[in-house]
Structure 1
Amino acid sequence: MPNKPIDALFQLVKSLEKSEKRNFKLYVTRNTAAENLKVIELFDALDKMSEYDESILLKRTKGIKKQQLSNLKAHLYRQILSSLRLIRDEQNIDIQLHEQMGFARILYNKGLYLQSLKVLDKLKEMARQYNQITFQLQAIFFEKKIEALHITRSSENRASSLVEEADHVLGALELTSASSNLSLMLYDWYIRHGHARNKRDEEELDKFFARHLPDGAGKGKGFYERLYVYQSYCWYAFIRQDYLMYYRYTQKWVDVFEQHPEMIRVETLQFIKGLHNLLSAHFDLRNEAGFAKTLKRFEELDQEPIVQENDNNRIQSFVYLQQARINQYFLRGTFTEGLDLVPYLEEKLEEYKLQLDRHRILIFYYKIACLYFGSGENEKAIDYLQKIINWKVDLRTDLQCYARLLHLIAHYELGNVDILEYLIKSVYRFMAKMGSLSPVEEEMFKFLRKSFGHSPASIKEAFRKLLAKIKPYENDPHETRTFAYLDVISWLESKVEGIPVQEVIRKKYERGRKGKG
């Protein structure tokens, strides 16, 4: 079911840990003003609600009138953020740098210019150590202001050294900004459209990439300059389904962190995302050994305090780690074994529902549906696919298309002849409208339309002919997307051989292992 709009204050209250709630109440009750007592009443009522409902909220807060609610909610929101601000995070570089900047301004306002400059020098050193270019720039601008307004005599050639330093930092910032812009725009392209669907999409993408790729990309030596260039190439290759190139740049993405291990603490989510993409590259290339090695590294990271003690890191790590574990079941053809993971996934999706975006939830629904389909439990697969189909089509149109196609095939497997004719027309129209019909899918629809006329004796031969038509597309770059979402060939082979689809995939996996051994 599509997400309902979530009240921001309710979402914030529900995100708090027990210790944070306790700290908030101590912070608010430091004085007993009547407004603060109402704030606590409102906080307690929100904390006890499972879903936000303003009419129920007003009934539970007798001391609050409807006309007061808006102002009290805004006040409570600010109070919660202020209380959280007081819980100092020693591990957060941003907070430490902000604190140093605050100290420098306080000293400056007291007229202690030299002391302020010393703090700014310390700030710049920490910012350089952790590649925080924007903080370096803020500190330099503040230093320039002090030097321009006061006679400090802090050092010889102070003006020229500050100008040189500012130019260097601005150059690095410009390249970082341009690269991060390109990376973000490419990621947005993928979220909205999925993979390039045809030659025209590829040509448009190539022009877009060439137009926005900054001059000097790949020549930068700084952490962020390199990271965002690697990310840009990574998304470009992924959208084009050039999985070898995708692998090379996801590996570079992870390697830049290994070369700067101090940045794992600063940019934990970027490292998590890099590991996720490297796992996806190994999966797309069917490199099970590389996949297993990267998964082990990810599992180790997941247990570290930098992940477990930060809500955002912990939730995103859950998302990507569980997707990787499901993909491992897909690689090995152990779909039924993977179903043991579903209750845990359902529990966590409910727990994190206020923090997870729809895109992540849709992917989980599709992967769970694939686990059930691969295990032969088509009714359960349909249940999860229906959740995707019923969602408003405003992102990942490719996922919507393949959810409908798999939904159709699951009904075919169940022999639901009464609705198959309608579904075939409906799904075909939807995929055609979205510009998502490939030659493989066209062949499948032709087969499905004629399948009603096949007798039980002739259907296996019909499957064999369809497999012969589709098999040549297996290594076609423009068909990679089709096989990535739905292993049509393994499904057809299972129909021809008369064995479950997961057994077909498991045999391929075992043959691959023996071949590499």
Structure 2
Amino acid sequence: MANLLKDNLIVLIQSLSPSEKRHFKLYVNRLGDNIDAKFLLLFNLLEKMDDYNEEKILKSNIVTKLQLSNLKAHLYKQILVSLRMNPVNQNIRILIREQLDFATILYHKGLYKQSLKILDKAKILAIEYEEKNIAFEIVELEKVIESQYITRSITTRADALAIQAKELSKQNVIASKLSNLSLQLYSIMLKSGYAKSDEEASKITKYFNKQLPKIKIETLGFREKLWLFKAHLWYSFLIQDFLSCYKYANKWLCLFDENQQMIFLNPVWYIKGNSYLLESLYLIKHKTKMKIVLENLEKTIALEQFPKNDNLSSQYFICYYNNKFNLYFLDGDFNAGLHLVDEVLRKIIENRDRIDEHHVMVFYYKIACLYFGMGDNKKCIAYLKKIIENKNLSIREDLMCFARILSLIAHYDSGQDYMLEVQLKSTYKFLIKMNDLHEVQKLIIKFLKNLGNIYPNDLKSEFEKIHKTLKVFENHPYEKRAFLYLDIISWLESKLENKSVAFVIQQKSKLLLR
């Protein structure tokens, strides 16, 4: 089996577009001596491979086994250099850092004046575009040069640089603290999902308040505000305050609306902001606003000045299709969403090296829910099985839990009662192990377990009882999370009314005024 480095090289080569491959070959051949370079011959060979095949490489006589590791590392580096030089990949951040590199070279040659001139222009750009980490590096190099190149203005210049360095350092520290807090809260969300009790919510709140730096928002720049809103957003998600989620996701997007140039400089965070705003709107069931936000995002992505690259393509794919599924779920129009399945599965394969397993499993869960809403329980079970049998998924325990519960319901609906007993025991053990066995889950499992012992004439009254019991938990601070993953209430109502789940949700959707 190929090791990680081998995988990385062929994955990098396979990720190159035709124009990037052409640019690489032009870059390599800029000097005649490189036409027959071994690393170019290796590139041409790997370019034709679907999977890494060391035996085939050695048989080509391009390189010996002892030289292969070094040649591959050299090829990897040359591809990165070529990509960096490619105009397609140029952005203001890379250009500023390039200017810093040029200034450093001039400084080492003792050309202080020229170096300072480039640094001054680069610093103005860095501050204008909120690249304060690079701006701080520039000021630090300016201080080094000024300490060696004596001018008449050295006194005032030294004071100005010292003040500027102090201010940039302070802003960078604030941004670092806020980004650390945001990342830690995001980690908790991925690992455990929403808070499950007052104790968990209290613990999260104490942690959030303790780690949140004391700041005045009016003194913050774009970058610091962005991290602040992210931290508040993840805190709101964790404690299930979905109106606050909407509030801070909206602030996030408004920040970009007020600083249009930042959309094109930080396109990933623009897409992410839209993604969280759409998720918040889904949770508060504001489908009209969802459609507007999604349409606006599509228009912005289509703009000529919006950057185009593989990373942005995969990020947009996750955001767009997740929320297209969500809109069909809110409308209860499951059949209309069926066309998304093939599109999503195809794009998962196309983006397999850029999408993590967590997001793939979320898509499988949404596809399973789509089939469940259509009444196709066998396909629903097939996609849930992909989640349940995934031994490598160590995040989003809540997703794993509700995949198992939905699987139980789908097995019951499909008439596969003979498998229910084994699955009930397995699910019960799993939920206890995950410390996720709450009242709603207990009631659902107990209800499904007893279904086999109920006479057909008594089924409706049993469905009425469990429906009445679960309705109480629909707005419970912590138990309501079960209904975010699985609309068990609509399923029960479909049994009581002898209608399809889709029909019940469609009727509810009509009552939504937004």
Question: Which TM-score applies when normalising by structure 1?
Answer: 0.94
The aligned residue for residue 473 of structure 2 is: 473
Give the aligned residue type for 2:12: L
Which residue is 1:248 aligned to? 247
After TM superposition, the structure 1 stretch with the greater mean CA deviation from structure 2, 273-282 or 202-211, is 202-211
Q: Relative to 1, partners in 2 of residues 1:220 and 1:422: Cα closer, same or farther, differing over 3 Å?
A: farther
Report if aligned partners of 2:369, 2:380 keep a CA contact under 8 Å in 1: yes
In 2, distance between residues paired with 1:467 and 1:334?
A: 23
Q: How does 1:108-507 map to 2 (within 5 A)?
A: 108-154=107-153, 157-216=156-215, 218-305=217-304, 307=306, 309-392=308-391, 393-507=393-507
Q: Amino acid of the residue matched to residue 264 of structure 2?
A: R
- Hey, what does 1:512 align to over in structure 2? 512
What SS does the aligned partner of 2:50 have? coil
Q: Secondary structure at the match of 2:452?
A: helix
Cα displacement (A) at 1:118:
1.8
Superimposed CA distance per residue, residues 104-130 of structure 1 (whole angstroms, 9 cap, x where no aligned partner):
223323333222222111111111110
Shift of 1:474: 0.7
Instruction: Report the CA distance shift for 1:115/1:195 in structure 2 as closer, same or farther (over 3 A).
Output: same
Instruction: Give 1:495's aligned amino acid.
Output: K
Deviation at 1:57, TM superposition (A): 5.0
**Unmatched segments (≥5 aa) in structure 2:** none
Give the C-alpha shift of residue 19 in structure 1. Answer: 0.8
Which residues in structure 2 correspond to 1:35-54 (within 5 Å)? Answer: 37-54=37-54
- 1:183 and 1:231 in contact (8 A); partners too: yes
- 2:457 is paired with a residue whose SS is coil
Letter in 1 for 2:437: L
Matches within 5 A, 1:47-66: 47-55=47-55, 57-58=57-58, 61-66=60-65
Alpha-carbon displacement from aligned partner over 1:114-163 (angstroms, at most 9, x marks no partner): 22222111111111110110111111111111111121335761111111
Deviations 1:217-268 (A, max 9, x none): 6454201111101100100010111101111111111111111111111111
Q: CA deviation at 1:103?
A: 2.4
State the Cα distance separating 1:493 from its structure 2 match. Answer: 0.8
SS in 2 for 1:437: coil
Count of residue pairs the alignment pairs up: 510
Check conservation: 2:146, 2:154, Cα contact below 8 A. Answer: no
CA distance 1:414–1:308, shift in 2 (3 Å): farther
Inter-CA distance 412–54: structure 2 relative to 1 (3 Å threshold): farther
Whether contact under 8 Å (1:307, 1:314) holds in the other structure is no
Corresponding residue for residue 8 of structure 1: 8
Amino acid in the other structure paired with 2:169? L
Q: Within 1, Cα distance between the matches of 2:139 and 2:303? A: 35
Shift of 1:342: 0.8
The aligned runs of 1:9-28 (5 Å cut-off) are: 9-28=9-28
Question: Which residue of structure 2 lines up, in the alignment, with residue 101 of structure 1?
Answer: 100
- Counterpart residue type for residue 445 of structure 2: F
Distance 1:142 1:34 in 2: 36
Instruction: Tell me if the contact between 1:196 and 1:239 (Cα under 8 Å) persists in the aligned partners.
Output: yes
CA distance in 2, matches of 1:218, 1:385: 45
- The superposition leaves residues 59-116 of structure 1 with CA deviations (integer Å, 9 ceiling, x where unpaired) of 5x34333333222211111111111122135751111101211222233233332222
CA deviation digits over 1:27-53, x for unaligned, max 9? 233456699543233323322233334
- Greater mean deviation of Cα atoms: 426-435 or 306-315: 306-315
Q: Deviations over 1:448-495 (max 9, x none)?
A: 110001222221221111100000111112123211111111111111
Q: Distance in 2 between matches of 1:218 and 1:100?
A: 32
3-state SS of paired residue (1:457) = helix
Query: Is the Cα contact below 8 Å between 2:267 and 2:307 reproduced in 1?
Result: no
Seen in structure 2, the aligned counterparts of structure 1 residues 320 and 423 have a Cα distance that, compared at 3 Å, is same
CA distance in 1, matches of 2:143, 2:56: 56
**CA, structure 1 residues 34+118, in 2 after alignment: closer, same or farther (shift >3 Å)?**
closer
Equivalent position amino acid for 2:311 in 1: N
How big is each residue's C-alpha offset from its partner over 1:350-405, in whole Å with a ceiling of 9 and x where there is no partner?
A: 11111111111111111111111111111111111111112124111111111111
Q: Deviations over 1:151-209 (max 9, x none)?
A: 13357611111111111111111111111110111111111211112222212211211
The offset of 1:298, in angstroms, is 1.3
Q: Tell me if the contact between 1:43 and 1:76 (Cα under 8 Å) persists in the aligned partners.
A: yes
Contact 1:91 1:265 (C-alpha < 8 Å) held by counterparts: no
Q: Distance in 2 between matches of 1:192 and 1:58?
A: 44
> Aligned equivalents of 1:57 and 1:365: distance in 2?
37
User: CA shift at 1:307, angstroms?
Assistant: 4.9
Report if aligned partners of 2:233, 2:244 keep a CA contact under 8 Å in 1.
yes
Secondary structure of 1:458's aligned partner: helix
Counterpart CA distance in 2 for 1:55 and 1:218 is 60
Distance 2:459 2:57 in 1: 61
- Partner Cα distance (1:502, 1:57) in 2: 55
Residue 23 of structure 1, CA deviation: 1.5
Q: State how far apart, in whole Å, the 2-side matches of 1:244 and 1:270 are.
A: 21
Given the superposition, is the C-alpha separation of residues 509 and 467 from structure 1 closer, same or farther in structure 2, using an over 3 Å criterion? same
Whole-Å Cα distance in 2 between the matches of residues 116 and 451 of structure 1?
80
8 A contact 2:249–2:273 mirrored in 1: yes
Compute the displacement of 1:274 (Å). 0.4
Q: Does the 8 Å contact 1:89/1:95 carry over to 2?
A: no
| Kept in 1: contact 2:494–2:504 (CA 8 A) | yes
SS at match of 1:7: helix
1:373–1:67 Cα change, 3 Å: same
**Distance in 1, Cα, partners of 2:332 & 2:50:** 39
Specify whether residues 464 and 131 from structure 1 end up closer, same or farther in structure 2 by C-alpha distance, changes over 3 A only: same
Could you say what secondary structure the match of 1:289 adopts? Answer: helix
For residues 199 and 38 of structure 1, the distance between their equivalents in structure 2, rounded to whole angstroms, comes to: 63
SS of 1:356's partner is: coil
Gapped runs of 5+ residues in structure 1?
none
Give the CA deviation at 1:216: 1.3
Range with greater deviation from structure 2 (376-385 or 296-305): 296-305
Distance 2:301 2:114 in 1: 42
- Counterpart CA distance in 1 for 2:427 and 2:151 is 74
